[in-house]
Structure formats: C-alpha cells, structure tokens
Structure 1
Amino acid sequence: MSEATQTPPGRSVLVTGGNRGIGRAIAEAFVVNGDRVAVTTRSGGAPMGTLDVRCDVTDPVAVEAAFATIEAAHGPVEVLVANAGVTDDTLLLRMSEDQWSHVLETNLTGSFRLTKRAAKGMLRLRRGRIVLISSVVGMLGSAGQVNYAASKAGLVGMARSIARELGSRSITANVVAPGFVETDMTGVLTDEQRTAIKAQVPLGRYGTPEEVAQTVLWLTGPGAAYVTGAVIPVDGGLGMGH
C-alpha cells in the first residue's frame, strides 16, 4: 500500500453538530472505527466516547477556542466533517434578511471557518480529509428553502476550490449530499407529506443516518484516497447525481 493510501490509526476527527441525527451517526461510526473523535454542539449531548466541545460555528472566537481544546486533547484535526446546519424555511417573498443571513452564516460561512482552521494543521501534517455535508436540496432546489439551498449549493464550490488548493499536500475535500433521511427534521412531516416524498424516491424509502455515516467513513478512509472534489449523493436516487 502506498503512503498516500495509508490511514493512520486513531486519527483526530472533528464532527460538528454531532449530538443528533446524521452528525451523531457519523461521530459514532468514527468511534467504532477506533478514531479519537471530538464533537461540537451548542447545547451538549455528544455521543459516548467522544470529546464534547461547546461551539457556535457562527462565532469565530468560539471556533478558535474549540480547536484549541481539541488539539490539546487529540492533536491536530486530521479529519473534519462539517455537518452543523440549520433551516429557516419560508417563501422567497416572505423571507427576511435575518432568515437569509442566519442560514448562510451557519451553513456556509461556518463551514468556511472550520475548514480554514482545520487546514492549518493538515498542511503541517501534509495529509487530511475534509467532508462537507450538503443536501440534495442544494442540487435540485426546493420551494421555501432559497436560503438553505443556496447555502448547501455553496458548499460544492467551496469543496472543489479547496480540493484544487490543497490537493498537492495530500488533503482531500469532498461533499456528501443526503436526501430525505430519518431524523428529527423529517420527523415533523405529516403522513401525507412523507408518502409524497417517498413517491419521488426511486428506492421508495427514507435513508438512515447510519447510511450517510458509512459514506463519510469511506470518503475519509484508505479506499477514497484518490477521491477529491466529488459530490457523493446518498439520496435513494432522488437527485440522480445532480
């Protein structure tokens, strides 16, 4: 096995927004993999076996403090999974400036802060894996989610630019785009809404957080050492790769 495809054991992994849903499943998968996992949350509740770090990704000072804590405990972050995100849905003509700004600041600018800070350590190590969690909505659009779709689409351009900038240092940057997944966010839908959504999905069901987590685990493992700048859909065929 070449040096580029080797994965050091017990890597320092950071998963943001890892206290529930997809983020929690991702963090738990890395723990099972034997990695040293830090999870940022705003209110606590990180999975067992992880370092629970309070952090609001919209606050640059909080992001810097979080990295200082993680590096002291686990060393430089070798794998970053930027998962923290919010929604604030309404139709375009009703959307306020604050609704737009809050979602973009959390989902897109927050990911920028995280990747910029993590890249410093990765450059010194001359290796690293960055995974940004987007959404099928970023590819297809969704009525009432102009802000959310824009933020998730922006992650694609960000990851591909990072892939070009940092690829020579053995740092990959990829995007995972989940579709409709069984989480708290989809749990509030009515039975009629859930039936209508399933009808659009070729596989005819919702995904699970664990299925997204296994995709992230693969992207950060030795089997994906030559994959960078990619968008990997985990959506049951809903977006057909778009």
Structure 2
Amino acid sequence: MLFGAVLSPAFAQTQEMPESATAVMEAHGGMDLWKSLGGLVFQKGDGEEAETHITNLWDRRIRVENSKYTIGFDGTDVWVSPADAEMRGSARFYHNLYFYFYAMPFVLGDPGIYYEEVPDLELMGKTYGGVKISYAPNVGDSPDDNYILYYDKATHQMEWLMYTVTYRGGGPSDKYSLIKYGDWQDVPTGGASVRLPKSITWYNYEDGVVGDARGGAEFPMVSVSAEPPLDSRFARPEDSRIDPKN
C-alpha cells in the first residue's frame, strides 16, 4: 500500500508548496486570486435538505443554515441555535467539514501544512499525479488528519481526494476515504474566476481498489466576493448553545 510505504528522498516532506501543487492551484484560478477573496457562500443540496454555508475566508468564521437549526463559528466557539435543536453528531466537527471539501484545492494552501509528492496512482483505469498534505502539531482540531490530492497530469485539474478522519479519534489513522471531483464550475469574480465543484461523490475504497459509489453532495449555488460577510452573520445569538471541543 502507498500509505505505509517509506518514501524516497525524491518525495521528501516540505513546507514549501511543490510545483505540482502550485500547478493544480493555477488550474483552478490561482492562490493569489483565492487569497484576494473575503467571502464564500455555497448551497449544499436542495429542497428541505438544503444548507447554506457562509464563510469569512480571511479568518474562517462560518455559518451553516438549514431549515431546522443554524451552526456558527464566531472565531472562538462553535454554537448551535436554537439551543434545544436536535442534530446528529458534533456541530464542532460538522461546522467546517463541507467548507474543506468544497474549497479544495485552495484550502491545501493554508499555513501550517506539510507537502509530500507521492507516487502516481491508478484510479478507475487512469493514472494520476499526487500530493500528500499533513498538518503541523496543534493546527486546528484535527492536526493528525491527512489528505492526498490526485490530479490530471495533463491539465493539473484536481480529480480525487483521499482523506483520513481523526477528530476526537485519539491519534493518526491509516484508513483513507475517497472522493471523486468530476464536475467543476468556474465562479466569476472581478473579471477572473475560481474553479469550484458542482458535485462530489464518495466511493468505497479498500486495499487499493475503488468500489461502488456510496453517496455524494451537489452544490447548486455558489458565489464569492472580495469583501467578507458582515460580522453579525457569525455572532452567537441569545437562543443558542456552545458545542464543546471535547
């Protein structure tokens, strides 16, 4: 398995983004353009299951709205409103989960990241180039998470994401989940555009073999802005509770 292999010096870990990752960013609009943006709003799903995700890209405050409750991150705490709202799982885990999936590949240019170029990998009959991303200690709630981005070697467009989940898990994991990014849209901003997903699909993946699709998410609406959303969008309302870190 790739993930247990000892990498050669050609695949050394570094905090400097390798040329392959830079090329992926450029294929999606470029890090300079992404860093110039202050706000991102996208809708996940539609109808009664629709969620609106609002993000301040400068400081990563987030608000997630659906028909039953609202989750927010005010820069310190993750809150849920109304206070008696019932939800499955942890609001703290969920509040930025889809932001990370949606804002690929740009979030892999965040501070505190280590990069490793990894050997090419064949997925569903096509060979992709890859870059592994891990985090410095104490970065975020899950610094032991790992991501491997696989890209089209001709266009450098991102195509697949492998990732581990370690939130509250007590340490690193070698079990990778697999997402296919096969449908992109160019979102206009100031005469340029950033390329963000229209949909993503999870696949079963075990022992290096891609299995059946096992679910997905569609994003029917997205907008970006030079200015961030109003601070009031992220402020904790009176009728709310704080979701603990642990």
TM-score by length of 2: 0.30
Greater RCO (Cα-Cα under 8 Å, separation 6 or more): 2
The structure carrying a bigger helix percent of its residues is: 1
- Give the structure with the higher percent strand: 2
Query: TM-score, structure 1 length as denominator?
Result: 0.31
